Structure 1
Amino acid sequence: MLEGFAGKRNARDDSVDIPQGHSNERQEIEVFIIDWKGTLPQHLFNIDQQGYVSAEAETVRYPDGLERIDCGLGTNPTGMPAAVRAELERLSTCALCDYPAPEPEDLKKGIAATYPCWQVKPEQILPGAGSMGVLVTLLRLLLRPGSVLAGPSPQFTDTVLQALFNEASYAPVPRSPPVFRLTAGPLLEAVEKAPTLLYLDRPHNPTGQVLPLEDVDRLARRGMEKGVWILSDEAYGDFLPPEESACRLPHPNLVTCRSFSKGLGGAGLRVGYAVTRNEDLATLFRRIQPPFAVGTLDAALALAALEDTSFLEETRRYVRYAKERTLEALRTKAEWTVAETDLRVPIFFLSQESGDLVRCLAAVGILCEAGSGYVGLDNRRARLRVPSPDKLELFLERMGTI
């Protein structure tokens, strides 16, 4: 019997019409029946953790007629850069009938030129289909069945899930609720156990903390001695000065992943990139990444966003102002605790001792990301992003009514 097939049945069980000109004698035809479920990777059915984006998406209900305030996904609260709008008009005749270049060379040069303090060369920049696409390719390279991914928990769930999908295991480094303070000590202890990969979201998702760059340096140096890869996911990195990026660190076991979705206001572009000093890793990344990962239009618009420095400066000013206002208001709510966080980062993590915080926020029309979308947590907690400028006062007013 052929592998992947469950068996066969006889054509006598199902009549077969024989065209004219052929023998009208009944013929036995062996028809193989595919057991489709048996051909699929069964271990994936046993992973019941869902990503925070989909958590509670179908069960939370909002009051009819009440305008919703979006504090959920970590997009830029101020929208998209004016330079991107202008570039869209200029590119109206872009030849989208042609395949894009294998890599967006102009964008790579633009990244290297925009961040001179990183001292990276274009060939050390690995563009991909959003930072998530880059992460998926990196995990294909760095993890295999039996590998171990470690990281400060809670953290960005979808990277953990991708590790599990690769048949690796997850070794969380738990932070104590409800403050979830992030320090280097427990992470260094995790490196001592020699996992395959230490994954850091930096700034941290969901709390918005920032592990100091000198601590990342210490982790990478110890990782070199223990044979551990360090992956610094800087999806929210543009809210910090370039000097604080792990892209500055020269260690060959360190990979830094960046995004155009957050601070640069390009979530719909699906452009991200990694920075590595490891030539072999760069070679293999380019070998296994699917072809044409970054579209022609996406690359051109990402370059325009990169060059619009005034937009990023204004975004940073607003985020800090909005977060200061929000945290000040939350201090009056004794039943809530905000995890440790950095004022420069637009997300924060809110906890209460009991009850469903996600539905509590939904009752006043506030969208959030459910705590149940993070490994080991439930909906007593929720991640929020500061609202858009035009919704800030309404957001604060509604939070005050809860």
Structure 2
Amino acid sequence: MLEHGGKLREAAQRYGRNDWLDLSTGLNPNGYPALAVAPDAWHRLPEHDPALLDAAQCYYRAPRMLAVAGTQAAIQALPRLRVPSRVVVASPSYAEHLHHWSQHGHCTSAVPYDELDAAIDTSDVLVVCNPNNPTGATVPRDTLLEWARRLAARGGWLVVDEAFADTDGAHSVADAAQTPGMLVLRSVGKFFGLAGLRLGFVAAQEDILTQLADLLGPWAVSGPAQQVARAALEDDAWQQATLARLHSAGKRLRALLADHGIASHGTALFQWWPEPHAEAFHEHMAQRGIWVRLFREAARGIRLGLPPDEAGWQRLELALNEWTDR
């Protein structure tokens, strides 16, 4: 398996401590307060709930969606829906995309963001994270729509992973997912902080969603997950309050890093920078019980998520002080 954030059990075993401040995942640290679900959700087979899809399509402004067991399920399945193709994956980005497209007979290449436009006309599929994970870089909406048009002209796909788009949807193309060849992935794990639900959505044309649903099979999303996600997607008051809080926290994190000489980039949920001493920084933080995400390859650097409370902010600031004073 590829390396990801989290893995606190592994960290606890390695460093012999359990008081971790986990900043490694980029998830909302104060997620949606999931309420108790109806008892029958635990005992009945989980039929697809049309009300969940209505809530998702309203929230994401998408014309048609399919619920999946986390966007990871779609990432693993989509390469199986095409004959061998020329696939370009924006680099750096979420590593699971390139990993799975490379496993099903496709000819894959990782292309830097500033070279993607030149790669469109010799590709059948383009995969891009927007905002990017881990750097936070964005591609303008108009550019994505133009790329989709060029790809669709010869039966190609544009796959846009919008897992981190909830805090800034200016460049989202979920509403344009009826465009031929456009596929958009959305997640309730990041903004809503509900990663444990394993629930996401795919927006696309009906024929693609039908093929994907057939491949994933029945009962792909649990009944409890559907009920909790529907409540979160319909809770406009919580969403608006959380947006304001996350934008404030994101600015605070970026300013805190800047105060310590770190020029970072990211979203309201995380900050990333190309740290020249990435391994040393990761170890420095781990020794203080702060778990950050270390990237060793294409996006070599560090990604930090948001602390959950004031004690966490103070702990992070102290560790940063000790890093700059070393």
TM-score range, shorter chain: 0.7 to 0.9
Instruction: Please state how far the C-alpha of 1:355 moved relative to its aligned partner.
Output: 5.6
Given that 1:76 and 1:262 are in contact with CA atoms closer than 8 Å, whether structure 2 keeps it comes out as: yes
Given that 1:155 and 1:201 are in contact with CA atoms closer than 8 Å, whether structure 2 keeps it comes out as: yes
The count of residues paired between Structure 1 and Structure 2 equals 320
- The residue number in structure 2 matching 1:368 is 292
Q: Partners in 1 of 2:42 and 2:9 — Cα distance? A: 34
Instruction: Please state how far the C-alpha of 1:302 moved relative to its aligned partner.
Output: 0.7
Query: Cα RMSD (Å) of the superposition?
Result: 2.7
- The residue number in structure 1 matching 2:22 is 70
Assess, with a 3 A threshold, how the Cα gap between structure 1 residues 56 and 295 changes in structure 2: closer, same or farther: closer
Which amino acid is the alignment partner of residue 51 of structure 2? D
SS in structure 1 of the partner of residue 179 of structure 2:
coil
Assess, with a 3 A threshold, how the Cα gap between structure 1 residues 57 and 158 changes in structure 2: closer, same or farther: farther
The alignment's TM-score, normalised by the length of structure 2, stands at 0.87
Q: Partners in 2 of 1:190 and 1:150 — Cα distance? A: 8
Which amino acid is the alignment partner of residue 252 of structure 2? R
> For 1:152, which of 86, 90, 94 is the aligned residue?
90
Q: Partners in 2 of 1:377 and 1:235 — Cα distance? A: 18
- What is the correspondence of 1:153-232 to structure 2 with a 5 Å cutoff? 153-174=91-112, 182-183=113-114, 186-194=115-123, 196-232=124-160
Which amino acid is the alignment partner of residue 29 of structure 2? P
- The residue number in structure 1 matching 2:43 is 97
Which amino acid is the alignment partner of residue 389 of structure 1? D
Given that 1:233 and 1:258 are in contact with CA atoms closer than 8 Å, whether structure 2 keeps it comes out as: yes
Q: Single out whichever of 231-240 and 65-74 deviates more from structure 2.
A: 65-74
Which amino acid is the alignment partner of residue 341 of structure 1? G
Instruction: Please state how far the C-alpha of 1:140 moved relative to its aligned partner.
Output: 1.7
Assess, with a 3 A threshold, how the Cα gap between structure 1 residues 53 and 65 changes in structure 2: closer, same or farther: closer
Query: In the TM superposition, what whole-angstrom CA distance separates every residue of 1:325-354 from its partner, at most 9, and x where no partner exists?
Result: 2222222334x442x434xx3122122224
Given that 2:260 and 2:320 are in contact with CA atoms closer than 8 Å, whether structure 1 keeps it comes out as: no
Assess, with a 3 A threshold, how the Cα gap between structure 1 residues 56 and 172 changes in structure 2: closer, same or farther: farther
Q: Partners in 1 of 2:183 and 2:55 — Cα distance? A: 19
Q: Partners in 1 of 2:286 and 2:174 — Cα distance? A: 38
- What is the correspondence of 1:117-132 to structure 2 with a 5 Å cutoff? 117-118=61-62, 120=63, 124-132=64-72
> For 1:341, which of 259, 266, 269 is the aligned residue?
266
- The residue number in structure 2 matching 1:275 is 203
Given that 1:164 and 1:170 are in contact with CA atoms closer than 8 Å, whether structure 2 keeps it comes out as: yes
Given that 2:126 and 2:159 are in contact with CA atoms closer than 8 Å, whether structure 1 keeps it comes out as: yes
Which amino acid is the alignment partner of residue 309 of structure 1? D
Task: Name stretches of at least 5 consecutive residues in structure 1 with no aligned partner.
Answer: 1-48, 175-181
Percent identical pairs in the alignment equals 23
- The residue number in structure 2 matching 1:80 is 32
Which amino acid is the alignment partner of residue 191 of structure 1? I
- The residue number in structure 2 matching 1:384 is 304
Q: Partners in 2 of 1:56 and 1:337 — Cα distance? A: 27
Instruction: Please state how far the C-alpha of 1:254 moved relative to its aligned partner.
Output: 0.5
- The residue number in structure 1 matching 2:57 is 112
Check if 1:396 corresponds to 2:317.
Answer: yes
SS in structure 2 of the partner of residue 240 of structure 1:
coil
Given that 1:213 and 1:245 are in contact with CA atoms closer than 8 Å, whether structure 2 keeps it comes out as: yes
Assess, with a 3 A threshold, how the Cα gap between structure 1 residues 128 and 218 changes in structure 2: closer, same or farther: same
SS in structure 2 of the partner of residue 261 of structure 1:
coil
Instruction: Please state how far the C-alpha of 1:395 moved relative to its aligned partner.
Output: 1.8
Check if 1:257 corresponds to 2:257.
Answer: no
Q: Partners in 1 of 2:239 and 2:118 — Cα distance? A: 36
Which amino acid is the alignment partner of residue 383 of structure 1? R
Instruction: Please state how far the C-alpha of 1:303 moved relative to its aligned partner.
Output: 0.3
SS in structure 2 of the partner of residue 132 of structure 1:
helix
- The residue number in structure 2 matching 1:308 is 235
Q: Partners in 1 of 2:41 and 2:30 — Cα distance? A: 30
Instruction: Please state how far the C-alpha of 1:151 moved relative to its aligned partner.
Output: 2.1
Assess, with a 3 A threshold, how the Cα gap between structure 1 residues 304 and 56 changes in structure 2: closer, same or farther: closer
Q: Partners in 1 of 2:8 and 2:299 — Cα distance? A: 13
Q: Partners in 2 of 1:288 and 1:348 — Cα distance? A: 36
Assess, with a 3 A threshold, how the Cα gap between structure 1 residues 130 and 283 changes in structure 2: closer, same or farther: same
- The residue number in structure 1 matching 2:221 is 294
Check if 1:325 corresponds to 2:252.
Answer: yes
Instruction: Please state how far the C-alpha of 1:296 moved relative to its aligned partner.
Output: 1.4
Given that 1:203 and 1:236 are in contact with CA atoms closer than 8 Å, whether structure 2 keeps it comes out as: yes
Instruction: Please state how far the C-alpha of 1:226 moved relative to its aligned partner.
Output: 4.6
Which amino acid is the alignment partner of residue 384 of structure 1? L
Query: In the TM superposition, what whole-angstrom CA distance separates every residue of 1:83-126 from its partner, at most 9, and x where no partner exists?
Result: x22xx1x52x225322111x2212112223345x54x1xxx211
Instruction: Please state how far the C-alpha of 1:212 moved relative to its aligned partner.
Output: 2.0
Which amino acid is the alignment partner of residue 104 of structure 2? N
Assess, with a 3 A threshold, how the Cα gap between structure 1 residues 246 and 355 changes in structure 2: closer, same or farther: closer
Which amino acid is the alignment partner of residue 104 of structure 1? D
